[in-house]
Chains A and B, each alone.
Chain A
Amino acid sequence: MKKKTIQKAKLVSALMAAMLAAAGCQAGSGDSGSTGNKGTDASPQPSASAAPGTASEPKNPMPIVTDGSVTLTVAAPDNPYAAASLAQNLPVWQEIEKATGVKIKWDVVPGSQFQTAMQTRLASGTNLPDVILSTFDLYKYSKDGLLLQLDDLIAKYGENAVKVFEAKPLLPALMKTPEGNTFHLSGTRDDEVAAGPYGWLIRKDWLDQLGLAEPVTVDDWYSVLKAFKEKDPNGNGKQDEIPMTNYNGVTQLYNWGNAWGLHLRTSDGFYPDANGKIQYEWLDPKAKEMVVFLNKLVKEGLLDMEFAVNKKDQMTSKIIRSLSGATLAWQESNTLWTNKLREAGQPKAQWVMTTPPGGPNGYKGHIEKTGVVNGYAVINKKSPNAEAAFRWLDYVIYNEENMKRMTLGVEGKTYEMKDGQPVMTDFVTQNPDGLGAVEVIRSVGGWQLFSQASKLDYIAKLKQTDEILAERAKLVQPYLVPTAEFAMPTEDEFTKINRKLTDITTYKDEMVAKFILGQEPIDKWDQFTKQIQAIGIDEVVAIRQSQYDRLMSQNQK
């Protein structure tokens, strides 16, 4: 059993690595070929009024224009740091304007309403901006002929984009429609997880106080949480501890499946096995083992019985009131929690990330990376400045200098160069308003919700503001596994999946929540898997399989 799982994991990763490598070569050679052809087209390009190329002729030299004749209307979800709207022309974007020579007219909507607002505007098809920096997939609209096809522009001007694509060949494959065309530009931030991982956080000071080691397997977790409950680590003389809390409902708990080698949360249970065959892992008996384990935690009061209800606020409140000592979250949350607890008179308080739990069957556990794709940037087909818009996007999303700017902010304000290395200033690390590093960068306009590529080094600078964070991020790095990626569905596939999967997900979430809460007896598990099959999981798996196969073949083209 144990050997088999490890083998499987190895095979999958080997397979993926091989495919990536193959695709890398292909993309590279394909590109140089097209450069030769398109280079001649590009030379008489009139609007490229830029400085002459240095060594080899750059395809997308900056600035795009020098006379300020181009203004782009850019629609985007507004800054998640609400106190500084993008419309206020924040410092990062002033720098971008300076570098590109293109003026930006922002057309921003608060992030929570962006999708609804943008969809309504796209549906009416009028009064559209030149560029949309979207957080959701706009394929439906590109098919409707509202969006500019980008393949030729990528070949002609996509100097920065192609560099990123070469490093991450899965990205351009994921951007292609089923017909093989490209209508949007996506950034990629999957290294984000390596720099600031998402996973199991625990109060180190509670462990030390009770003389416990950091938990390694799910069984260790059980005894640690039990000790948290019974031995009064918050020292108020009452057994009021809720050892582990969470937020985001029952689906967040699916992360525990990682201990059994499953991928139930980020990949939603659809994951290729060693032979590249997509499996729905909820049908695996190991999923039942996970549910039994979680049910035990709830029954014995070790896991917050409000797990299905908690919002982030409720979780944070339990943590900073020193009631809970473990949770699942992004690593950087540790800083805020530790500080708040220390302010509240617990000088020893220390939240740390620990390695993901291993399973009882000997599997070492893993953490799934986030998907490769980050955001969807598109250009309005009717835009009079389409070319400039593309060149602008190529710079804003993929240019390395700009990656640094979007991740670390403005030199002299949020970071400084020391010995050729960027170092965050006190304004970030000890912000006068008490903001976290990410919030500070957002307050100057960087680290937004939409398309952005970034590099591990930069993200590490942003996310690892102290030594413990850096050390712990390194500790969990060997546990990272890729999430399953699928090519864009055809419209038919999309509708089918959408309907069937909504029913399956509804049923699955409902039943699993009840199993964990003990409202349904676990004997009904077989009935549960049968019902999932009856609703039609095979059809969904078949579609996922064809999406997966398509991605792999596009990847090799």
Chain B
Amino acid sequence: MQTSIAPSESRAGVPLPKRESALERLRKNTSRDKFLVLLVLPSVIYFIVFHYVPMYGILMAFKDFSPSQGIWNSPWVGLKWIREFFDSIYSFRLIKNVLLLNLYGLLWGFPAPIIFALLLNEIRRNVFKRVVQTVSYMPHFISVVVIAGMTITFLSPNDGIVNVMLDKLGLARINFLSEVDWFRTIYISTDVWASFGYSSILYLAALAAIDPQLYEAARIDGASRFRQLLHVTLPGIAPTIIILLLLQLGRMMSVGFEKIILLYNPSTYEVSDVISSYVYRIGLVGGEFSFAAAVDLMNATINFALIVTFNWLSRRLTQTSLW
């Protein structure tokens, strides 16, 4: 059917190139690329069924959800749940803690895999390079629970290896996990340790894609290795860095809740208590689906706003952006 429309129109002999309507163009493109469309269809269906249809549940955030009435028939309550969240004397502390953990995490955690990838890139011996690479991935596969357990054991003020060493050096023992000043350092350094090797994979791939001729040209011009790094390598992976940075910025309001729960205790609440752990204590447990949905929606909205803003900024400043 559709295939016959376009030719018949042209056969009707309209001499001037008429602007086709969007619908027509879509129809035409679809018929032309029908196998490509078929190829993309499963992912489209997947996103509709598993990511867009469930968005209906967001309504829960504005309703007093009760299971027997269902989402639609539960009564509307507007922004009641968000207001309740901000009624807590801790709401701003919680938001601050999430943002600071992410900000410091970004400052330390973001450059680490880039530097690591650059260093690896300079290694000539392939065997050594591959061994280092593989070894550095390993921590990524250790579960959070185990990492937290290791952290607690190593940092124990009584017989943890760190404190034993401090003691031997004649320094005072530190009660690491009970002190406010140490929590962020511990949380972020263990995070960086666990993830830098794995995160460097993308950069290594980007590095491999840089045209070797550029290096050759640089060398002929007399650039030192450091100059090559500065003027060839870094610009080569800059788009990757920016894209990953943008994606990171889109997660500023999210934080690994399990690790917080495993590592925090009341004496460090001041810096360690985050939105998710607070909501957990308030008793998501109590079956407060609406409240949980509202808080989560608030986080997602802020994340979304952040990613849109920074994407716009990046497009203006660097011509690289997610969309």
A interface residues (Cβ-Cβ under 8 A, vs B): 115, 119, 122-125, 136, 140-141, 143-146, 242, 249-250, 304-306, 308-309, 311, 314, 318, 323, 494, 498-499, 502-503, 505-507, 509-510, 512-514, 517, 519, 535
Is the Cβ of A498 less than 8 Å from the Cβ of B178?
no
Show 21 residue pairs from A and B whose CB-CB distance is below 8 angstroms, ordered by the A residue.
A123-B67, A136-B285, A140-B286, A140-B287, A141-B68, A145-B68, A146-B68, A250-B267, A304-B158, A309-B265, A314-B156, A499-B87, A502-B88, A502-B283, A506-B90, A506-B278, A509-B266, A509-B269, A510-B269, A513-B267, A519-B267
Q: Which residues of A contact B69 (CB under 8 A)?
A: 144
Q: Which residues of B contact A519 (CB under 8 A)?
A: 179-180, 267
In this complex, the member of A146, A318, A498 whose beta carbon has the largest number of chain B beta carbons within 10 angstroms is: A498
Q: Which residues of A contact B178 (CB under 8 A)?
A: 305-306, 308-309, 513, 517
Least distance between B199 CB and chain A CB atoms (Å): 29
Is the Cβ of A305 less than 8 Å from the Cβ of B90?
no
Q: Which residues of A contact B90 (CB under 8 A)?
A: 503, 506
Pick the 6 closest A-B CB pairs, nearest first. A509-B266, A513-B267, A144-B68, A308-B265, A513-B266, A510-B269
Interface residues of B in 73-99 (CB under 8 A from A): 84, 87-90
Q: Which residue of B lies closest to A138 (CB)?
A: B287
Interface residues of B in 139-173 (CB under 8 A from A): 152, 156-158
Assembled-state Cα–Cα distance A308/B84 (Å): 30
Is the Cβ of A309 less than 8 Å from the Cβ of B152?
yes
B123 at the interface (CB under 8 A from A): no
Please pick, from A146, A318, A503, the residue contacting B89 in the complex, using a CB distance under 8 A.
A503
Interface residues of B in 253-281 (CB under 8 A from A): 265-267, 269-270, 273, 278, 281
Q: Which residues of A contact B283 (CB under 8 A)?
A: 498, 502
B interface residues (Cβ-Cβ under 8 A, vs A): 65-70, 84, 87-90, 152, 156-158, 175, 177-180, 265-267, 269-270, 273, 278, 281-283, 285-289
Q: Which residues of B contact A514 (CB under 8 A)?
A: 267
Is the Cβ of B152 less than 8 Å from the Cβ of A535?
no
- Not counting A123-B289, A141-B67, A309-B265, a sample of 14 additional A-B residue pairs whose C-beta atoms are within 8 angstroms of each other reads A125-B68, A141-B68, A144-B67, A249-B265, A249-B266, A306-B177, A306-B178, A314-B152, A502-B88, A509-B269, A510-B270, A513-B265, A513-B266, A517-B178
Q: Which residues of A contact B152 (CB under 8 A)?
A: 309, 311, 314
Q: Which residue of B lies closest to A147 (CB)?
A: B68
Assembled-state Cα–Cα distance A314/B270 (Å): 25
Least distance between A193 CB and chain B CB atoms (Å): 25
Q: Which residues of B contact A122 (CB under 8 A)?
A: 67, 287
In this complex, the member of B68, B87, B90, B287 whose beta carbon has the largest number of chain A beta carbons within 10 angstroms is: B287
Is the Cβ of B281 less than 8 Å from the Cβ of A502?
yes
Is the Cβ of B265 less than 8 Å from the Cβ of A498?
no
Q: Which residues of B contact A510 (CB under 8 A)?
A: 266-267, 269-270
Q: Which residues of A contact B270 (CB under 8 A)?
A: 510
Least distance between A261 CB and chain B CB atoms (Å): 24
Q: With contacts A494-B286, A503-B89, A503-B90 known, is A308 near B158, CB below 8 A?
A: no
Least distance between B287 CB and chain A CB atoms (Å): 5
Is the Cβ of B158 less than 8 Å from the Cβ of A242?
yes
Q: Which residue of B lies closest to A536 (CB)?
A: B89
In this complex, the member of B67, B278, B288 whose beta carbon has the largest number of chain A beta carbons within 10 angstroms is: B67
Q: Which residues of B contact A513 (CB under 8 A)?
A: 178, 265-267
Assembled-state Cα–Cα distance A514/B268 (Å): 9
Is the Cβ of B157 less than 8 Å from the Cβ of A119?
no
Least distance between B263 CB and chain A CB atoms (Å): 9
Least distance between A254 CB and chain B CB atoms (Å): 12
Is the Cβ of A123 less than 8 Å from the Cβ of B287?
yes
Assembled-state Cα–Cα distance A125/B287 (Å): 13
Assembled-state Cα–Cα distance A115/B265 (Å): 23
